[in-house]
Amino acid sequence: MPGFELFGKEERQQVEKVLDTGVLMRYGFDGMRDGHWKAKELEEALSQRMQVNHAHVVSSGTAALTIALASAGVGAGDEVIMPTFTFVASFESILALGAVPILVDVDDTLTLNPNAVENAITPKTKVVMPVHMCGSMADLDALQQICKKHGLLLLEDACQAIGGSYKGKPLGSIGNLGCFSFDYVKTVTCGEGGALITDNGEYYENAQKYSDHGHDHIGNDRGAESHPFLGYNFRISELNAAVGCAQIQRLDEFLGIQEKNYNMLREALSSVERVTFRRVPDGGVENYSFLNFFLPTEEMARRTHKALLDAGVDSCFYWYDNNWHYYRKWEHLTNQKTLGKLSQEVLHGLQDFNKVDFSVSDHWVGRNISCLIKLGWTENEVSERADTMVRILKSL
């Protein structure tokens, strides 16, 4: 991770095919295309790889989450349970629909704590959104049971975990809906892009219309299409989709490299006393895009992170202080900083962040260091990195 590290002839050939036709839009202009439909081609590859009936590619992972929620009828005042540790897109997608994000604790998986989810459910809850952060998954069996018990939708945000699996099923395919990001720093990149997947035909039909201004996409005359309901513009371009067509075919190649580099680092760090690793639920297989480990205390994690950076060990993250990925720095959410007015449903539904207790999340995220696994490292570079990390950890 990320896939741009290994751009090559495959990506160039796919992009050139689009440029040769001159058609950069995913819809229409049938006669000019010379048979090239890159967005559709990427959707077919995703459906096959993720073992689902339907895939729809869009402009970003944020768009995918927004469309997935809309396709299932989520709207004003509906509550969506999400973790304290994620990317800001999680709550942005919820708020965009007038729904209410309800933050709950993570556990030692660094993903949704099922007990916290159960305690957060109210009559307004409609969706549980686990986010498979840093390449690994939540306790999906437990979350599925909770959703079944309360009649809730399970929406998997697998934006950072493409290629991972749970009990033999690809991440993203286990819930009612699943979403991926193909932005510039993801394992599979389109530069900008995303996708939602589902086995539910109604959700798919809603999604492919909603993402294109409500067009019904019936017939060959775009100007004659009707609009069954309101929609917006979340389309992906054919150029972005073309890059994705090449990258999705290389996913196994990328995963193999990530696993090799991950295992080398993990084996080395396992020799350091009192270093422990995030829990992967039984039956789960990471996509190996990050190596996450815990230090005994928050103070030691801070010192270790600084020492790693000072020693030139880049791409190690201390999410506890990160502006984008942990609730502590989401002042725009907690202080309701918006350009326009929030709806009364949102204002009345948001948690009082001055009173809510996320100490369980702090316990885990505050002691965690997360190391990005790069595709471009040589074996010697991984070995040298491992030696440096072990030396620093032992010295501290």
Angle between helices 238-249 and 251-269 (to 10 degrees): 60
CB contact set of 96 (below 8 Å; sequence gap of 6+): 66
Residues 74/97, Cβ–Cβ less than 8 Å: yes
The rounded distance, in Å, linking the Cα atoms of 80 and 178 is: 15
Q: Which of 24, 73, 385 is nearest to 229 (CA)?
A: 73
Residue bearing tokens 């540790």: 85
Q: Retrieve residue 275's tokens.
A: 């270093």
Tokens of 55: 């895939």
Catalytic residue of the set 38, 126, 186, 209: 186
CA 341-345-347 angle, to 5 degrees, is 55
Distance of CA 106 to the CA centre of its chain: 16
Separation CA 175–CA 79 (nearest Å): 17
Half-sphere exposure of 270 (CA within 13 A, CB side): 7
186 is catalytic: yes
Determine contact, residues 57/51, Cβ cutoff 8 Å.
Answer: no
d(CA 336, CA 348): 12
- Strand-pairing partners, residue 101, are 80
Of 291, 297, 234, 239, nearest to 268 by C-alpha is 291
**Helices marked H in the chain:** 9-21, 38-50, 61-71, 89-96, 114-120, 140-150, 201-210, 238-249, 251-269, 298-310, 331-334, 344-349, 359-365, 379-395
- The count of C-alpha atoms lying within 13 angstroms of the C-alpha of 99, restricted to the half-sphere facing its C-beta, is 29
56 membership: H or E segment, kind and range: strand 54-58
The set of catalytic residues is 186
